[in-house]
Amino acid sequence: MRRPRPGFRPMAAVVTAAALALPLTGCTTVHTTAPAAVRAQTASGAEAAGRFGTVDCREAKCIALTFDAGPSEHSAQLLDILKEKKVPATFFLLGKRHIEKYPELVRRMAAEGHEVASHTWDHKILTQIGPDEIRAELRRPNDAIEKLTGRRPTLMRPPQGRTDDTVQKICREMGLSEVLWSVTAKDYKTYDPKVIKERVLKQSSRDGIILLHDLYPGTVPAVPGIIDALKERGYVFVTVPQLLAPGKPKPGTVYRP
């Protein structure tokens, strides 16, 4: 298992119905766009289609399940669970020690209809490195994923949610959208599946983006209970692109509910 990252902290923000500004310490104010705003800006009549079926999040009570920092030794079990429960997820994958170690799992994620995206090559904080290094952190996992799946990622999640004008500009150049989150179980701090489940359920709401890490041992055992409880509450699970549909992710834009 990859070493824990004790410095990992989710970015605090105030949620609004459309776009909001997130002040980051030492960074430029970051403006984010909510999924509902993307859908509202798109002409009516289009449909959100995916290999898990057609879901219209303008009508359905949608929520996106996302996993960071894999693949890992736990990812095969997670994929088995998602397949059994017919739930799509979005995977933000790390390159070094992950994509390069578990290429067959990357292929399986794509083959089973999940969205495969980037979490950088080596989890470097993008706001603390230069433009050339940012480009390398983003290009290397995309190259590896495209080689394995035949499809180049269009989404990325910046480590610790840290982004700024420079990161956004480079993402725009590289055809990437940034995806943050609204729900975190802080599963890097607890390996108790019950606690992880309770935290997710407490924070979940319509159009939510759930952040979990399939590399920690308590997370995957919590997933079946999370899925079952949210389905009982009327939620429909979708990938991040499905959450935005009929709109599409726009390179250089930062998305957060």
Which residues are the active-site residues? 68, 213
Determine the Cα–Cα distance for residues 212 and 67; give it in Å rounded to an integer: 5
Determine the Cα–Cα distance for residues 9 and 12; give it in Å rounded to an integer: 9
Alpha-carbon distances, residue 191 vs 47, 186, 212 (angstroms): 39, 9, 12
Pick the closest to residue 238 from 58, 20, 57, 7 (CA basis). Answer: 57
Pick the closest to residue 229 from 257, 198, 206, 207 (CA basis). Answer: 198
Pairing of strands 62-70, 90-93: parallel
Pick the closest to residue 184 from 152, 210, 160, 158 (CA basis). Answer: 210
At residue 79's C-alpha, the angle toward residues 75 and 85, to 5°, is 145
Determine the Cα–Cα distance for residues 218 and 85; give it in Å rounded to an integer: 19
Residues 176, 251: contact at Cβ < 8 Å? yes
Q: Which two tokens stand for residue 178?
A: 């940034």
